[in-house]
Structure 1
Amino acid sequence: MTALPAPAATRPAARRWLLPAVCALLLSACAAPPVTEVPQRRQMAMPALPAMKNFAPRPGTPPVRANADIARDILDLFFRMESGREVPRFTRYEAPIRVGLAGQVPPGAEAELSRLLLRLRSEAHIDIARADSAAAANLHVEFLPRARMQAVVPHAACFVVPRVGGWDEFRRRRHGPEVDWTTLESRERITVFVPADVAPQEVRDCLHEELAQALGPLNDLYRLSDSVFNDDNFHTVLTGFDMLVLRAAYDPALRTGMTRAEAAAALPAILRRLNPRGERLPARGADDSPRAWIDAIETALGPRTPAPARRVAAHRALAIAEARGWADNRRAFSHFAVARLSLASEIEMAVLNFAEAARIYAALPDGALHVAHVDMQMAAFALGSGQAEEALVLTGRAIPAVQAAENAALLATLLMIRAEALEMLGHEQEARAVRLDSLGWARYGFGADDTVRNRLSEIAALTPPRAGG
């Protein structure tokens, strides 16, 4: 999320870079090696698209984190904006929360919202439900065409605004103090704006992060490896850590109007009750991410920055991480950024940095999903170089973590790579079944049928040309 000129909070479109942009780069980088015989590239027969797949509701995995660290994270999430501005008082909804939908509600959005509200009630113990009528709603979700949203807030994929009840009111007040979170004294009326014409997974992701922000956290912290409140965007649905943060925020021992010091005094007892395991774990005590590192990462990932400047910024971020002696997800993410930006021109550097990122992520108690993202990159390299068995090992290792994280776009990509590897090894029937499975997930993760078919063609193009007939 990023501060608007009038400081409402947004989910920047740039945060969606992880899978589509990386895939685009690796697909161009992993050109198939030449062969000495007459090559004949297989023509990709496009299968009919199956029904869209979706994930069954599941609770988040409890955090593996010391309560002392979690308390500090909660304070930084509630009492500081991403820009660094301090928030003077703790706020939350004090009345029961009733959610209303408005605008061009896309198919499946109501079901996604129902699943999310069920999780918020059962895991975070928040009194939240659908409103009986528009007038009864105090948390609004309005769906708009993406172009209409970004004509007003150009870089936001979705965003949340306090003290407004809809789009027209937001437009009237967007330059005023009413939409400034730092002036908020209580949460009584908030609106989440979500694009209506994006993939179902993007709708779900926006609902998860923006509703959670409407309920609680105002900040994103790069040091959080198990949370949606991290601009690395590895997690796309609310995690067990996120649910614990929200449950603590709505504990009776906290109340709207508390200062940071008052909340800090109350949190240890709250977390002892809610997360007794966290009392037995040692604190990591990670330092704050310095502005220089954040700026370097944001420049490296900025889609409007020229590629050479992005590569320089990624190396600068890695140098800062090394100088600070980090061995956490931020050091790994710095390697990941360098690797991602080296794909098109320096394959060896990309592979080395992906490998180092995976090594660091694998040492973290909550790093399985992050390793899976690296495994997808390496599986694509393996497929492009004809190492079908290695592609099967990497995709097989990554798929369980991706399923658990409910990332259909990444899951579909892994399955497409796996289908190509199986076909290279002559397992035609199994390859067809895996490819068909991938398409059901791709319809959820990528949306439009043409986008799904294009992704299938791109993965197929990684496969080396076949010799002879």
Structure 2
Amino acid sequence: MRRVILPICLMLGACVPGQSVDMPSRAATADVSGLPAIKSFSAPRPVPPMRSNKDIQRDFLDLSFQLESGRRLQHFSRFEEPISIAVAGTPPPTLMPDLNRLVHRLRTEAGIDVARVQDGPANITIEAVSRAEIRRNLPKAACFVVPNISRLSEYRTARHSRATNWSLLTERKKLAIFLPNDSSPQEVRDCLHEELAQALGPLNDLYRLPDSVFNDDNVHAVLTGFDMLILRAYYAPELRSGMTRAQVEERLPTILSRLNPAGDTRAPRFASSTPREWIDAIQTALGPGARSAERREAALTAVRIAETVGWRDHRRGFSHFALGRLSQSVDPDFAQDQFVTADQFYKRTPGNDLHRAYTASQLAAYAISQGRGADALMLIGPHLATAERHENAALLATLMMLRAEALDLSGRVAEANAVRLDSLGWARYGFGADWAVRAKLREISGLSPLKGSNG
């Protein structure tokens, strides 16, 4: 289910919606079609984790000793030698710069001895192939990682063998990552971050994590400060492949105290585990395959479960967000109530700024559809910097396009045109093909009562 939910969350729908650092950066390609050059991000600014080390210890163990299916892992596994990465297939132009940037972050922030090699055998081979080739092998996957093979051509015969069984792995020596070469630059980069993090470290995802790519809600798309801490701990000298959960747990307090001393001063929150029923409901609501009515019913189920469990964290907010997203076409007013409720839960705890930015895009779109330009500007304003800081070009472009429509409604036409033009370079990175950028422009322009129907 990786990389399935976020694209749905970014869609604005008929009348209402995947990263950041310093101010925008360098252009990656020249203008080829009348659109501005594609933009990319400058130096990363990851936010350090703001949780207790006791919470992080529990997160580390649950991430490292369990698969996404819920199956327990008996042994800790990682690479024990310096790690080489090679690229095969037909990579898109943005893959190499994004990979080089990520490798630099892994070396400097996570302290992992990893490097890209030009040719020859490598510990990790990243093969760039078409989406169709990936889906022929895993129909629901946008990208994936497999142990003990190097090319997609090996996967069909190896997929049911012991060699590719993660639960039998005690030390990692060779893995392959398969990325699409015909998706948007952001989608390729997001896959790169998620799958390389899994290739190097934890194999599980936890919905209870508000600030991590190790979370199937896909709100975060590039490795966060929390993720880098987890990976740094994963490669701590006190640990080694083959250890049991108990052996790792015994060493973790010392490791985390050394790597994250501030975490020893914070009180633990002990967030509750996520019921399988809620996970299934969310994946039905926002994943592929279900009909519209089934999606909405699944979202209602997720909200009911969140209420029953008594959540007041980001998972409660995400439940309402999903229900709002899936209610827009049938009951826009109800959908807006759900987005307002989602935002109320998101703002109860720190670290949910990116979640709130997604919600703001929905609320602002609705305000624009009602001709309330000033309200939309107030909703959008605080979240532009958030989208930049988290390097989410698709979200940043969406917010900027919405801001341009709100400025038009407020009579600030010249300013609107400048913002709209500035959004296009980010949209080329976030949405990819020129037709997709123009389609997003038309979609958001159509929200405004000045320009067309908004129903």
Shorter-normalised TM-score: what interval?
over 0.9
Describe the shift of the 1:167–1:466 C-alpha distance in structure 2 as closer, same or farther (beyond 3 A): closer
* Cα pair 2:65 2:76 within 8 Å, conserved: yes
Distance 1:406 1:195 in 2: 20
* 1:83 Cα deviation after fit: 0.5
Residue identity in the other structure for 2:63: L
Residue identity in the other structure for 2:64: F
3-state SS of 1:191 partner: strand
**Equivalent residue, structure 2, for 1:68:** 54
**Equivalent residue, structure 1, for 2:25:** none
3-state SS of 1:142 partner: strand
**Equivalent residue, structure 2, for 1:134:** 120
Cα distance per residue 1:375-422 (max 9 Å; x no partner): 000000011100001111111111111111110001101101111111
1:257 equivalent to 2:248? Answer no
Residue identity in the other structure for 2:352: G
* 1:59 Cα deviation after fit: 3.7
**Equivalent residue, structure 2, for 1:18:** 9
* Cα pair 1:395 1:414 within 8 Å, conserved: yes
Describe the shift of the 1:465–1:280 C-alpha distance in structure 2 as closer, same or farther (beyond 3 A): same
Distance 2:195 2:92 in 1: 17
3-state SS of 1:238 partner: coil
3-state SS of 1:156 partner: coil
* 1:466 Cα deviation after fit: 6.5
Question: 1:42-441 to 2 correspondence within 5 Å?
Answer: 48-135=34-121, 137-441=122-426
Unaligned runs of 5+ in 1: 3-10, 31-46
Cα distance per residue 1:315-372 (max 9 Å; x no partner): 1111111111111111111111111111111222211111111011112210111111
Cα distance per residue 1:172-211 (max 9 Å; x no partner): 2112221110011110000100001111111110111100
Distance 1:378 1:15 in 2: 18
Distance 1:315 1:63 in 2: 31
Residue identity in the other structure for 1:216: G
Describe the shift of the 1:431–1:406 C-alpha distance in structure 2 as closer, same or farther (beyond 3 A): same
**Equivalent residue, structure 2, for 1:37:** none
Residue identity in the other structure for 1:235: H
* Cα pair 1:15 1:231 within 8 Å, conserved: no
Distance 2:384 2:349 in 1: 18
Unaligned runs of 5+ in 2: 17-32
The alignment's TM-score, normalised by the length of structure 2, stands at 0.94
Given candidates 424, 445, 449, the residue that maps to 2:434 is 449
* Cα pair 1:12 1:155 within 8 Å, conserved: no
* Cα pair 1:221 1:231 within 8 Å, conserved: yes
Cα distance per residue 1:74-130 (max 9 Å; x no partner): 111110001100111001110000100000011021110000000000100000011
Residue identity in the other structure for 1:462: L
Describe the shift of the 1:310–1:132 C-alpha distance in structure 2 as closer, same or farther (beyond 3 A): closer
Distance 1:352 1:14 in 2: 21
* Cα pair 2:210 2:351 within 8 Å, conserved: yes
Residue identity in the other structure for 2:165: D
Cα distance per residue 1:231-254 (max 9 Å; x no partner): 111101000000000000000011
Cα distance per residue 1:298-319 (max 9 Å; x no partner): 1111332111121111111111
3-state SS of 1:410 partner: helix
**Equivalent residue, structure 1, for 2:29:** none
3-state SS of 1:298 partner: helix
Task: Tell me the C-alpha RMSD between the 2 structures.
Answer: 1.4
The number of residues matched between the two structures is 436
Distance 2:6 2:343 in 1: 21
Residue identity in the other structure for 1:134: G
The alignment's TM-score, normalised by the length of structure 1, stands at 0.91
* 1:16 Cα deviation after fit: 3.1
* Cα pair 1:16 1:233 within 8 Å, conserved: no
* Cα pair 2:5 2:217 within 8 Å, conserved: no
* Cα pair 2:6 2:219 within 8 Å, conserved: no
3-state SS of 2:367 partner: helix
* 1:66 Cα deviation after fit: 0.4
Distance 2:381 2:3 in 1: 32
Describe the shift of the 1:12–1:372 C-alpha distance in structure 2 as closer, same or farther (beyond 3 A): closer
Distance 2:451 2:213 in 1: 43
Distance 1:375 1:268 in 2: 38
Residue identity in the other structure for 1:16: P
* Cα pair 1:159 1:192 within 8 Å, conserved: yes
Residue identity in the other structure for 1:317: A
Instruction: State the identity %.
Output: 51
